Amino acid sequence: MLTTKQTVLAVVTLCTGIAFAIQVPTSDQISIASNDRSDVLPGFGGAGDEPRAYRPDTSSLDFVYHNHEDMTRYLRATTARYPNLTALYSIGKSVQGRELWVMVVSASPYEHMLGKPDVKYIGNIHGNEAVGRELLLHMIQYLITSYTTDPYIKWLLDNTRIHILPSLNPDGYAASKEGTCDGGQGRYNSRGFDLNRNFPDYFKQNNKRSQPETEAVKEWINKIQFVLSGSLHGGALVASYPYDNTPNAKICRSSSTCAVFNSYVSQPSLTPDDDVFKHLSLTYANNHAKMSRGVACKSASPSFENGITNGAAWYPLTGGMQDYNYIWHGCMEVTLEVSCCKFPPAYELRKYWDDNQLSMIKFLAEAHRGVQGFVMDPNGGPIERAQLKIKGRDVGFSTTKYGEFWRILMPGVYKLEVFADGFVPRDVDFMVVEQHPTLLNVTMQPSKPYLFVNHLKPYNHH
């Protein structure tokens, strides 16, 4: 089970900016008991060795597959039961009119917590890859039932807003069949589009007609500045990180064909943040019960060293969601392949939850690594949409309407480049350490002082 950890608080002072640490529990030795799980999963109904019928109990979540109606009832019942920790909203509808539900789990579910990051999980982008959908429902259940008893979970929810979209492709799920490990039935949305080939692409023009589910995600991540994201898939056991595409790749229509025939010739397509993406992927793989072993699902499938891979090195694809998150919005997303079988029988779901639970929690906590802070004018007012870049890392990011920014970075010394309309650009040196994030506040000077309104009230960060 998750164990109590000491907290660390340190101070880093830099001459070029204000930098200090945020209180973060150390979580190096979090462990889960492998035999007696009753104390780890409060509020869960065990699946046993055989499938069980769904029971819509507001205080329990069984290890069975939930169709869209079951899932909707569970989410609504949960937010009614835990109004102080959850909020339910829809980002849009599928082609066939099913709501694309998102559950926020946080100590502040209805409003953004100033200075604290938003993170997300997305499941079931391929409708027949069903394990992730159920893992995310159990993730919701675990977080809310552990908040008052587990200090680490309490810290995570007090300092993070976690948005969970269990199913991006409910229409495809409805067309899928339990027990089907391979094949494409239900993979696509109801118009026959692969949603993970439907986003704008950095390397190649994507001419596929944008789908309602894809448009909903694009609008969602344009409104909320997510720092970290995981997309749950099935059909392999690996954490795959950007880039998924490369300037000169030959794109295959079938991912399974690509995996077999391109595994020997595909080249990695590395981002400027390759060290961070490898770390995030290893965080998931190393905390997973099996993933880090790198064992191939089948004899004809590739094996992955340490359970991670660069996406393009595995097989290149155009229009992937993780590249879009990173390039367009500065959100670091990793694709998490969590099951060799795409839609295994329900009685195996408990095993998958046991394998992934710790990984899912520790992955999200990585949003609290690196640098974060505010960009302000001389009166302390927030500067919205300031453009930021870590020198030497060309993929930029921007501030929120409150002037906030976040960037996940590994320990080291960096230079932050800040640009904002009407202000003199700034370069700020800072240091990142392992134990805690660095808080760095940057004050920008107006490029034309007479245009600056000095009677503006200072912005109160509290």
Q: Which of 350, 368, 386 is the last residue of a domain?
A: 368
State the average pLDDT over residues 291-311.
91
338 domain residue, yes or no:
yes
pLDDT at 322 > cutoff 50? yes
9 pLDDT band, cuts 50/70/90, is very low
Q: Are residues 226 and 296 in the same domain?
A: yes
Residue 157 · residue 324 · CB < 8 Å: no
Instruction: Render pLDDT for 77-131 as a digit per residue (tens, 0 to 9).
Output: 999 999 999 999 999 999 999 999 999 999 999 999 999 999 999 999 999 999 9
* Whole-number pLDDT of residue 60: 73
pLDDT (tens digit, 9 = 90+) per residue, 174-210? 999 999 999 999 999 999 999 999 999 999 999 999 9
115 located within any domain: yes
Q: Which band of pLDDT confidence, cut at 50, 70 and 90, is reported for residue 25?
A: very low
Asked if pLDDT for residue 409 goes beyond 80, the answer is yes
The pLDDT of residue 225 is above 90: yes
What is the residue-wise DSSP string for 165-182? ES-S-HHHHHT--TT--S
Least confident of 105-119, 155-169, 250-264, 327-341: 250-264
The answer to whether residues 327 and 376 belong to one domain is no
Task: Please determine, for residue 8, whether its predicted confidence score (pLDDT) is greater than 80.
Answer: no
Is 215 in the active site?
A: no
Provide the percentage of residues in the chain whose pLDDT is more than 90: 77
pLDDT score, position 298: 87
pLDDT at 302: 82
Q: How many CB atoms lie within 10 A of CB 61?
A: 24
In a shared domain, residues 342 and 392:
no
84 Cβ contact partners less than 8 Å away, ≥ 6 residues apart: 107, 109
pLDDT for res 451: 52
pLDDT of 253: 53
DSSP string for 357-379: HHHHHHHHHGGGSSEEEEEE-TT
Question: Does 397 lie in the same domain as 356?
Answer: no
How many domains in the chain? 2
Q: What is the pTM of this model?
A: 0.84
SS3 261: helix
Residues 394 and 312 in one domain: no
Report yes or no on 356 lying in a domain. yes
DSSP state of 106: S
Asked if residue 409 and residue 360 are part of one domain, the reply reads: no
Please give the pLDDT value at position 437. 94
Q: Considering the domain boundaries, does residue 255 fall inside one?
A: no
- Is residue 235 located within the same domain as residue 382? no
Q: Which of 337, 348, 366, 384 is catalytic?
A: 337
> 411-458, pLDDT tens digit by residue?
999 999 999 999 999 999 999 999 899 999 999 999 976 554 444 444
226 and 116 housed in the same domain: yes
Judgement on whether residues 186 and 313 belong to the same structural domain of the protein = yes
SS3 content of the chain, % helix, strand, coil (to 5): 25, 25, 50
Domain boundary among 320, 345, 368: 368
pLDDT at 153 over 50: yes
So what's the pLDDT on residue 325?
98
Asked if residue 45 belongs to a domain, the reply is no
Residue 196 lies in a domain: yes
Predicted pLDDT of residue 299? 84
Q: Is a pLDDT exceeding 50 seen at residue 374?
A: yes
Residue 420 lies in a domain: yes
Question: Same domain for 285 and 430?
Answer: no
Q: What is the pLDDT of residue 211?
A: 98
Q: How confident is the model at residue 259 (pLDDT cuts 50, 70, 90)?
A: low
What b/e sequence results for 370-397 when a residue is b if at least 16 CB atoms lie within 10 Å of its CB, and e otherwise?
Answer: bbbbbbbbeebebbeebebbbeebebeb
Check whether residue 350 and residue 414 sit in a common domain: no
Q: Tell me the pLDDT tens digit for each residue of 70-79.
A: 999 999 999 9
Encode pLDDT of 329-357 as tens digits: 999 999 999 999 999 999 999 999 999 99
pLDDT tier for residue 55 given thresholds of 50, 70 and 90 = very low
Q: Say whether pLDDT at 319 is over 60.
A: yes
**Are residues 71 and 56 in contact, defined by beta-carbon separation less than 8 angstroms?**
no
Could you say which of 351, 368, 385 is where a domain stops?
368
Residue 126 sits in a domain whose CATH number is 3.40.630.10
Q: Are residues 283 and 421 in the same domain?
A: no
Task: Find the domain containing 377 and state its range.
Answer: 371-446
The pLDDT, as a whole number, for residue 366 is 97
Q: What is the CATH number of the domain that holds 394?
A: 2.60.40.1120
The whole-number pLDDT of residue 328 equals: 96
Flag whether pLDDT at 57 surpasses 90. no
Rounded Cα gap, residues 32 and 412, in angstroms: 31
Residue 58 lies in a domain: no
Per-residue pLDDT at 17: 39
List all residues 6 or more positions away from 300 whose beta carbon is below 8 Å from its beta carbon: 260
The overall average pLDDT reported for the chain is: 85
Residue 252: per-residue pLDDT: 54
Is the pLDDT assigned to residue 11 strictly greater than 60?
no
